[in-house]
Structure 1
Amino acid sequence: MATPICRNGSSRALRSIFSSPKSTNTTLPAFLVPAFASPAHTSHFSTTSQCHSKIGRAPLSLPPDVNFTVLTAPPQQQGRQVSRTQLGQTVEIEGPKGKMSLTIPHYMSILSDGETRTQTLSILDPEERKQREMWGTVRAYLQNHILGVSEGHTAILRLVGVGYRATIESAAVTKQPEYPGQKFVSLKVGYSHPIELGVPQGVTASTPQPTRILLEGVEKEVVMQFAAEIRLWRKPEPYKGKGIFVNDETIKLKAKKIK
């Protein structure tokens, strides 16, 4: 009869007990012999070494009609300790679509190359975790700003459902304009009351088709946030595939519930 193995016991102790089953009175099941005969080792999910992201050190390419200006940062404090309150350099990006600015952390610096029209972001201490985490994030923000002032960001919303449609109105019944000339997106997606959403400042909304909403703007975060607010009124459901879809969003349909 095989000796029961305690789940909470040490594998090293069990290995010493069952190391030589022929010389002891303890019987070891045949299927456990290879496991205890092999040397002890620690199992891992991956055998490859940890690889850090290289997005932060990738250079930023500037289009011909975009101006990239780095303003002087305030005096930095001594030491390499990361501080969330200390300000760094301010980057101003101007293009045909508009102008945007971003204040980067004080432990980051930007190296400009006038010949290739590239900007490279670097950090003070690559061994500091917080600095590495913000390295790629700030670089992504700068890239979005460059694309925003040069080409602009867009979001296309698709209204899928019987009777679903949208229009752009210059005035609203249920809301007051937050700034002069504000437009409103009016949705008809199955509710008995009107749904009116004010278009944020800096975003242009249009309806090429009754079931399509086109949002355009310089700042990507504002455009996608407004698209998410519209989508909340009819999230895509998995049984009939109805709802408001953003860009290339899809949903996998489920089988109908059988009572």
Structure 2
Amino acid sequence: MSRIGKRPVAVPQGVEANLDGRDLKIKGPKGELAMTFMDEVDVKLEDGNITVMPIGQTKRARSMWGMQRTLAENLVTGVTDGFSKELKLNGVGYRAAVQGNNVQLQLGYSHDVIFPIPEGIDVKCPDQTTIIISGIDKQKVGQVAAQIREWRKPEPYKGKGIKYSDEYIFRKEGKKK
């Protein structure tokens, strides 16, 4: 039995949830999100709670149970609070700035990296070495953060690169003479 899957997802006040067959639409103060549930789970919307149960006892049905419930919870959290990721730039001359619909990154290349901001994502740079990515879709926020980080992953010797603010970089000792 899935401990996560057993818990119902509470729909708070001010959030409207509609279940049409396998399609769930959630509308809240920050926006609207939708998802389609897998065939292996059964979904019910009653008394302001979304309940997900597996249809059979197959391994796939039990695997999908907790994941589908978590995806439904992410929709509710996204339209009420939203999600955000914070990136830190470490390195001499590494800078970030938001210009219109693009993030301009100076990462030690011979040219500036221009990253276009996707629809539904908000990017802020409170200072030159911090990037805050926020939005209502958890997957999209994480994807944008990963794509920006991909330009210069942190290296283990000096710690230079783009890292998540809560990420620990395991440092290695350099060459000895």
TM-score grouping bracket, smaller chain normalisation = over 0.9
Equivalent residue for 1:96, pick from 26, 29, 40: 29
Structure holding more strand per residue: 2
Query: Is contact 2:10-2:49 (8 Å) kept?
Result: yes
Report the TM-score when normalising by structure 2: 0.94
Q: Does residue 238 of structure 1 match 2:156?
A: yes
* Structure 2 counterpart of 1:64: 13
1:228 aligns with 2:146: yes
Asked if residue 144 in structure 1 is aligned to residue 93 in structure 2, the reply is no
Residue 206 of structure 1 pairs with residue 101 of structure 2 = no
* 2:59 partner letter: R
**Conserved 8 A contact 2:19-2:45:** no
Q: Does 1:122 align with 2:53?
A: yes
Listed as ranges, the gaps of 5+ residues in structure 2 are none
Equivalences, count: 177
Alignment partner for residue 106 of structure 2, among 163, 188, 193? 188
Question: What CA distance in whole angstroms lies between the structure 1 residues aligned with 2:112 and 2:58?
Answer: 52
1:42-53 aligned at under 5 Å gives the runs 53=2
2:98 touches 2:124 (CA, 8 Å); kept in 1?
yes
**Which residue of 1 is the match for residue 94 of structure 2?**
164
| Secondary structure in 2 matching 1:241 | coil
Q: Give the drift of 1:69.
A: 1.1
> Whole-Å Cα distance in 1 between the matches of residues 165 and 7 of structure 2?
27
SS at match of 1:132: helix
3-state secondary structure, aligned to 2:5: coil
Structure 2 counterpart SS, 1:233: coil
User: Is there any run of 5+ residues in structure 1 with no aligned partner, and where?
Assistant: 1-51, 74-88, 171-182
Structure 1 counterpart of 2:44, one-letter code: L
Change in Cα spacing, 1:53 to 1:108, as seen in structure 2 (3 Å) is: closer
Q: Which amino acid aligns with 2:15?
A: V
Which residue of structure 2 lines up, in the alignment, with residue 106 of structure 1?
A: 39
1:255 aligned to 2:173?
A: yes
Compute the displacement of 1:109 (Å): 2.2
- What whole-Å deviation, never above 9, does each CA across 1:204-237 have from its counterpart, x for those lacking one? 1110111111111111111111111110111111
Query: Aligned with 1:239: secondary structure?
Result: coil
Q: CA deviation at 1:118?
A: 2.0
Question: Letter of the aligned partner of 1:101 in structure 2?
Answer: A
Which stretch shows the higher mean deviation, 217-226 or 102-111?
102-111
The CA distance in 1 between the partners of 2:76 and 2:134, in whole Å, is 15
1:218 and 2:133 matched: no
